[in-house]
Amino acid sequence: MGLSIAAGVAFWDHAPEGARGAPLLLVHGAGGTHLHWPETLRALPGRRVLAVDLPGHGQAPLPGETTIAGYAGALLGMLDALGIPRAVVAGHSMGGAIALSLAMDAPDRVAGLFLVGTGARLRVAPAILEGSADPARAAEVAEGVAAFSFGPSTSVADRAAHARAVAALPAGVLHDDFAACDAFDAMARLGSIRAPAFVVVGEEDRLTPPKYAAFLRERLPGEGLLLVPGAGHMVAIESPIEVTAAAAAFLDRVSP
Ligand code: COA
Contacts of 231 (CB under 8 A, 6+ apart): 151, 202, 203, 204, 205, 238, 239
H helix intervals, the chain: 39-42, 68-82, 94-105, 126-131, 138-149, 156-167, 173-183, 210-219, 235-238, 240-254
Task: Answer whether residue 158 is part of any domain.
Answer: no
Q: What is the C-alpha to C-alpha distance for residues 200 and 196, in angstroms, rounded to an integer? A: 14
Is 72 within 8 Å of 100 (Cβ atoms)? no
CATH number of the domain at 86, please. 3.40.50.1820
Task: Answer whether residue 176 is part of any domain.
Answer: no
Quick one: pLDDT at residue 193?
98
Please give the model's pTM, rounded to 2 decimal places. 0.97
Quick one: pLDDT at residue 62?
94
Number of domains in the chain: 1
Which domain range does residue 205 map to?
3-120+185-254
Q: What is the C-alpha to C-alpha distance for residues 28 and 64, in angstroms, rounded to an integer? A: 13
Work out which ligand 1 atom sits closest to the CA atom of 129: 44
Mean pLDDT taken over the chain:
96
Quick one: pLDDT at residue 64?
96
Is 96 within 8 Å of 117 (Cβ atoms)? yes
Q: How far is the CA of 150 from the centre of ligand 1 (A)?
A: 19
- Sign of the torsion formed by the C-alpha atoms of 181, 184, 186 and 187: positive
Strand 110-116 and strand 3-6: pairing?
Answer: unpaired
Q: How far is the CA of 181 from the centre of ligand 1 (A)?
A: 12
Q: How far is the CA of 123 from the centre of ligand 1 (A)?
A: 6
Average pLDDT of span 179-204 = 98
Residue length of the chain: 256
Task: Answer whether residue 31 is part of any domain.
Answer: yes
Task: Answer whether residue 63 is part of any domain.
Answer: yes
Please classify residue 171 by burial: count the beta carbons closer than 10 Å to its beta carbon, then call 0-12 exposed, 13-18 middle and 19+ buried.
Answer: exposed
Work out which ligand 1 atom sits closest to the CA atom of 181: 48
Task: Answer whether residue 89 is part of any domain.
Answer: yes
Is 113 within 8 Å of 220 (Cβ atoms)? yes
Task: Answer whether residue 54 is part of any domain.
Answer: yes
Long-range contacts of 78-82 (CB under 8 A, 24+ apart): 78/6, 78/7, 78/9, 78/11, 78/50, 78/52, 79/25, 79/109, 80/7, 81/6, 81/7, 82/6, 82/13, 82/50
Task: Answer whether residue 71 is part of any domain.
Answer: yes
Pocket test for ligand 1, best of 36, 100, 123, 235 (most atoms within 8 A of CB): 123
**Helix 156-167 and helix 138-149, axial crossing angle in degrees, nearest 10:** 140
Residues 21-62 have pLDDT tens digits of: 999 999 999 999 999 999 999 999 999 999 999 999 999 999
Work out which ligand 1 atom sits closest to the CA atom of 216: 1
Q: Whose CA is nearest to atom 25 of ligand 1?
A: 123
Of 142-146, 154-158, 244-248, give the range with the top mean pLDDT: 244-248
- Half-sphere exposure in the Cβ direction for 219 (13 Å, CA): 17
Closest among 253, 213, 189 to 92, alpha carbons compared = 213
Task: Answer whether residue 165 is part of any domain.
Answer: no
Q: How far is the CA of 209 from the centre of ligand 1 (A)?
A: 9
Does residue 93's CB lie within 6 angstroms of at least one atom of ligand 1?
yes
